[in-house]
């Protein structure tokens, strides 16, 4: 409720600021997305609405405020075991737990603009039943060589915290720690609950370059340092006969990625071809690469249609194992850490999708008497995930499909 | 970046800075050679040529992808919340 009133206050402030300006432009954005995935047993469904307002009370200043949410329902794996354990135990060694969560996030941001430079700073506050996040971000951008080169530096700092249970004093170490049962009484100073801090520093530098009237490139380097509790507190992993422990991952992780993009306009098609290739590495030994191709074509003055395809491949984390109880490699224990996180396992995925954008911007006058322009967009994407090693109790999970559909509206006043 | 002080001198800093400086100078010179005159930038300003032209519309898709993979990067630094179910 507090967050909702905060968002209303930000929106009212922005509208008030806009009202004082003489030649301001105000914008309103809203997007609504649904995500559904159907690998064995989870059936995760997420509805994500968002709304943002932006005003430019002076030519040198943009002010933005917004809200977004995730309404989550489905199931997640509560206890993870693999093929070696399943061979000698009941086949139903993987249990799932229903998940219902409601993530809320409020954000505010301003950008001070000059002829060739801009500075942006913002803050976001997010809440979930079991997670709190305070995030600050700043960025600076400059255009040089007649706006043909743009350089941007960004930094964000998250001060997050996650709920966990208080472990029994008799628990000798991580192998005896129990998983969190549910989020009841999280962040309520209850005797059986505690929180762990997570600090996240994210850095990004990008260089965008126009080379010819129809060809541009962008190079982006991203780095992130994560320090704190990074496991899923609800998940247990079977480590041996009678040994089932809360997931235990390293508390530090350094991540970096390099992304190269090109955009090439094809006059014959009245459209552009965009490609992106990204390489990624982190200190948990996950290496990955992705290739993304988009073709977007204008269909008349108002309509654009984009087709998108993406391929992604990653290696597993150094401490990833589908079964820590034993078995032939790659199964077996992997040192002092254990996880049941399928996102840390070696996997391959592909994605295809279509996006349609319809824009109305009258050259003279205003739309409905008050709007400068109106933009409606719709998209649908389907992706498939194939896991090399990840199983549910020894049963392979392949071709797990996920679907994302999004509708959005942008109005400028 | 190793900038540990030893006997009043910076150790290791120069070896890191030199290649970075060279790369920066190289990129600056390279980009300076390729300028498109303002009157020829119409197509570069076309919505189909923007790298993040529909960023707000695509944000939920990026969020879903990030939470289903073990990697990150290349799509901005702002954030807040986990949303990792």
Asked if A103's CB is within 8 angstroms of B83's CB, the reply is: yes
**Average model confidence (pLDDT) across chain A:** 90
Q: What is the pLDDT of residue A365?
A: 81
Q: Is the dihedral of CA A3, A202, A317, A230 positive or negative?
A: negative
In the predicted model, is pLDDT for residue A309 greater than 90? yes
Contacts of A259 in chain B (CB under 8 A): 73-74
Between residues B27 and A62, the one the model is more confident about: A62
Asked if B61's CB is within 8 angstroms of A33's CB, the reply is: yes
Between residues A241 and A53, the one the model is more confident about: A53
Average pLDDT rounded to a whole number, residues A89-109 = 81
> Residue A74 — very low, low, confident or very high, per pLDDT cuts 50/70/90?
confident
Contacts of A346 in chain B (CB under 8 A): none
The Cα-based distances of A402 to A52, A72, A79, A310, B73 in angstroms read: 27, 15, 22, 14, 21
In the predicted model, is pLDDT for residue B72 greater than 50? yes
Per-residue burial over A52-77, b = 16 or more CB atoms within 10 Å of its CB, e = otherwise: bbbbbbbeeebbbbbbbbbebebebb
Average pLDDT rounded to a whole number, residues A242-255 = 94
Contact A372, A9 (CB under 8 A): no
pTM of the model: 0.86
Average pLDDT rounded to a whole number, residues A8-25 = 53
CA atoms within 13 A on the CB side of A223: 6
> How many whole angstroms separate alpha carbon A136 and alpha carbon A117?
20
> Residue A345 — very low, low, confident or very high, per pLDDT cuts 50/70/90?
very high
- The domain limits of chain A are 2-412
The ipTM assigned to this model is 0.87
Q: Is the dihedral of CA A157, A159, A165, A166 positive or negative?
A: positive
Average pLDDT rounded to a whole number, residues A375-391 = 95
3-state secondary structure of A12: helix
Q: What is the pLDDT of residue B3?
A: 37
Pairing of strands A391-392, A395-396: antiparallel
Average pLDDT rounded to a whole number, residues A61-80 = 92
Interface check A2 vs B, CB under 8 A: no
Fold of A2-412: Porin (2.40.160)
Interface check A381 vs B, CB under 8 A: yes
Residues A126-168: tens digit of each pLDDT = 999 999 999 999 999 999 888 899 999 999 999 999 999 999 8
Interface check B23 vs A, CB under 8 A: no
**Average model confidence (pLDDT) across chain B:** 70
Q: What is the pLDDT of residue A10?
A: 53
> Residue A216 — very low, low, confident or very high, per pLDDT cuts 50/70/90?
very high
> How many whole angstroms separate alpha carbon A66 and alpha carbon A207?
28
Chain B neighbours among A 82-101 (CB < 8 Å)? 99, 101
CA of A327 vs chain B CAs: smallest distance (Å)? 25
In the predicted model, is pLDDT for residue B83 greater than 70? no
Helix residue spans in A207-318 (DSSP H): none
In sequence order, the 6+-apart residues with CB closer than 8 A to the CB of B66 are B72
In the predicted model, is pLDDT for residue A106 greater than 70? yes
């Amino acid at each position: 409720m507090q967050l909702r009133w905060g968002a209303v206050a930000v929106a009212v402030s922005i509208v008030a600021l806009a009202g004082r300006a003489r030649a301001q432009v105000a914008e309103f954005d809203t997007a609504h997305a649904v995500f559904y995935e159907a690998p064995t047993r989870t059936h995760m469904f997420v509805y994500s609405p968002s709304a943002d307002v932006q005003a430019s009370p002076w030519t040198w200043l943009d002010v933005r405020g917004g809200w977004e949410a995730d309404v989550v329902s489905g199931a997640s794996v509560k206890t993870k075991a693999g093929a070696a354990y399943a061979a000698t135990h009941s086949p139903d060694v993987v249990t799932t737990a229903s998940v219902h969560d409601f993530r809320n996030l409020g954000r505010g941001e301003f950008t001070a603009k000059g002829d060739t430079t801009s500075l942006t700073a913002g803050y976001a506050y997010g809440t979930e039943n079991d997670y709190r996040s305070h995030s600050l971000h700043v960025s600076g951008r400059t255009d040089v060589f007649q706006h043909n080169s743009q350089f941007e530096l960004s930094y964000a700092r998250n001060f997050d915290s996650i709920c966990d249970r208080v472990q029994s004093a008799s628990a000798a170490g991580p192998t005896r720690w129990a998983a969190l049962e549910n989020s009841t009484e999280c962040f309520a100073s209850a005797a059986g609950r505690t929180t762990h801090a997570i600090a996240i520093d994210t850095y990004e530098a990008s260089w965008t370059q126009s080379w010819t009237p129809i060809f541009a490139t962008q190079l982006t380097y991203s780095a992130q340092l994560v320090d704190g509790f990074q496991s899923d507190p609800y998940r247990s992993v079977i480590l041996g006969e009678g040994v089932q422990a809360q997931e235990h991952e390293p508390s530090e992780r350094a991540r970096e990625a390099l992304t190269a993009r090109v955009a090439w306009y094809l006059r014959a098609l009245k459209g552009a071809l965009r490609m992106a290739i990204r390489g990624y590495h982190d200190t948990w030994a996950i290496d990955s690469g992705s290739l993304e191709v988009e073709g977007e074509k204008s269909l008349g003055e108002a309509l654009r249609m984009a087709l998108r395809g993406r391929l992604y491949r990653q290696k597993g984390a150094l401490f990833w194992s589908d079964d820590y109880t034993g078995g032939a490699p790659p199964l077996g224990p992997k040192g002092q850490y254990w996880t049941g996180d399928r996102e840390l396992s070696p996997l391959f995925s592909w994605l295809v999708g279509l996006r349609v954008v319809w824009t109305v911007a009258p050259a003279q006058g205003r739309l409905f008497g008050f709007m400068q322009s109106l933009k409606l967009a719709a998209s649908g994407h389907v992706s498939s995930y194939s896991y090399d090693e990840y199983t549910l109790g020894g049963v392979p999970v392949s071709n797990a499909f996920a679907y994302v559909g999004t509708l959005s509206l942008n109005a400028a006043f | 970046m190793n900038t540990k002080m030893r006997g009043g001198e910076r150790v290791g800093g120069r070896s890191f800075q030199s290649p970075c400086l060279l790369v920066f100078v190289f990129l600056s010179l390279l980009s300076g050679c390729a300028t498109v005159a303002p009157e020829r930038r119409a197509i570069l300003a076309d919505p189909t040529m923007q790298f993040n032209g529909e960023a707000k519309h695509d944000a939920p898709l990026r969020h879903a992808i990030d939470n289903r993979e073990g990697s990150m990067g290349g799509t901005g630094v702002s954030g807040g919340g986990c949303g990792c179910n």
